[in-house]
């Protein structure tokens, strides 16, 4: 199995799709064979970056990857103590609900991973009923659906109605759950639902919203819930870290060494001037109080501005610097 694509790309598992794309572009540029001729290690890295990105490049592929990981951490090691949920606190019902939903109805005969209650994991969009008996016959409730809710910074700040489509199991219209030819005897079939969710103004990145009854429907029992994990795209040059935005600020080499001023655009669109201390290094940070998302702090991280082409004058001056021992 390939490496964790999020780790290879240097992003958090809850990073927005935009952030992933930007991280990929940056790394691909950095390790591109054209820029590293004859460097086998760079080529390996470049291939790993490509492979990682392929796993998560579209929302669809990413959903599949995330679902696969969840399944593996559930059933792979058989050690429930190690389950990691990407959802942070606050969800009413708690983790017990989620586990119950993954293992199907209470008292289900099917061992984990055998297909019992496996509907949610079917990668092909098919209804996959429990091993010998259609899941529709047993008592229970619909499975929970976990899905990301992608928002732009502006959408998250302002809040409001957000519409999206989700594929979920609905009770069969023809047999009302009893099982018929139209639903292959399952009592449910996969259909696309349009969902509108009211996003609270200032919604937090990585927070979870629970939509009661909007998960998979069950032939007889109550429907499961839909758990939406909020992902806010912090936009170009920014990423989330522990609920705070970290913004990369590129500064020229001379400013790094000598200090100076740099202007930047904060996440709320404000233009601010920041003092760069002398002898700053790549990776040094500063905290701008109240300039972050929703009035929180904004951490800025200085990074060396890449120089693509030197002028003849710059080249001559650099030679002088080299001769001086720098």
Positions touching Zn ion (CB under 5 A) are: 172, 174-175, 180, 182-183
Phi/psi at 73 (5° precision):
-75, -25
Taking the complex as a whole, how short is the minimal distance between the CB of residue 183 and Zn ion, in angstroms? 3
Q: Which is nearer to Zn ion, 15 or 172 (CB)?
A: 172
C-alpha torsion angle, residues 190, 118, 105, 222 (rounded to 10): -10
* Minimum distance from residue 130 beta carbon to Zn ion (Å): 17
Q: How far is the CB of 224 from Zn ion (least distance, A)?
A: 19
Q: Which residue is nearest to Zn ion (CB)?
A: 172
> Min. distance of Cβ 219 from Zn ion in angstroms?
9
Q: Between residues 32 and 173, which has the closer beta carbon with respect to Zn ion?
A: 173
Q: Which two tokens stand for residue 284?
A: 């040094």
CB neighbour list of residue 124: distance below 8 Å, 6 or more residues apart: none
Pairing of strands 244-251, 238-241: antiparallel
Question: Could you count the other beta carbons within 10 Å of the beta carbon of residue 304?
Answer: 15
Which residue, among 29, 22, 27, 17, has the nearest Cα to 55 in the 3D structure?
Answer: 17
Give the residue with the Cβ less far from Zn ion, 174 or 241: 174
Closer residue to Zn ion in complex, CB, 167/307 = 167
232 contacts: CB under 8 Å, gap ≥ 6: 16, 151, 152, 153, 156, 203, 205, 240, 293
Least gap, CB of 186 to Zn ion (angstroms): 7
DSSP code at position 131: S
Measured from the CB atom, is 217 or 233 closer to Zn ion? Answer: 217
């Amino acid at each position: 199995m390939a490496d964790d694509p999020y780790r290879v790309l240097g992003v958090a598992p809850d990073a927005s799709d935009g952030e992933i794309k930007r991280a990929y572009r940056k790394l691909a540029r950095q390790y591109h064979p054209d820029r590293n001729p004859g460097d086998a290690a760079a080529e390996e890295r470049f291939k790993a970056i490509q492979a990682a990105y392929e796993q998560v490049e579209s929302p669809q592929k990413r959903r599949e990857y995330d679902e696969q990981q969840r399944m593996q951490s559930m059933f792979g090691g058989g050690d429930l103590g190690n389950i990691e949920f990407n959802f942070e606190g606050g969800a009413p019902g708690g983790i017990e609900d989620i586990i119950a939903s993954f293992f199907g109805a209470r008292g289900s005969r099917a061992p984990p991973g055998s297909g019992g209650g496996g509907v949610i994991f079917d990668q092909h969009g098919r209804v996959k009923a429990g091993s010998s008996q259609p899941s529709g016959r047993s008592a229970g409730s619909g499975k929970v659906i976990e899905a990301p809710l992608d928002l732009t910074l502006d959408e998250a700040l302002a809040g409001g109605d957000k519409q999206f489509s989700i594929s979920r199991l609905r009770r069969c219209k023809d047999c009302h759950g009893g099982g018929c030819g139209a639903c292959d005897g399952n009592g449910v079939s996969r259909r696309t639902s349009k969902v509108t969710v009211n996003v609270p103004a200032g919604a937090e990145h990585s927070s979870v919203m629970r939509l009661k009854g909007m998960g998979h429907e069950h032939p007889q029992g109550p429907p499961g819930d839909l758990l939406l994990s909020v992902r806010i795209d912090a936009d170009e040059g920014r990423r989330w870290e522990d609920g705070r935005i970290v913004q990369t600020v590129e500064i020229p080499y001379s400013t790094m060494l000598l200090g100076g001023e740099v202007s930047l655009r904060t996440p709320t669109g404000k233009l601010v001037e920041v003092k760069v201390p002398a002898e700053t290094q790549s990776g040094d940070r500063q905290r701008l109080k109240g300039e972050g998302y929703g009035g929180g702090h904004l951490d800025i991280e200085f990074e060396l501005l890449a120089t693509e082409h030197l002028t003849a004058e710059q080249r001559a001056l650099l030679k002088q610097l080299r001769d001086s021992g720098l």
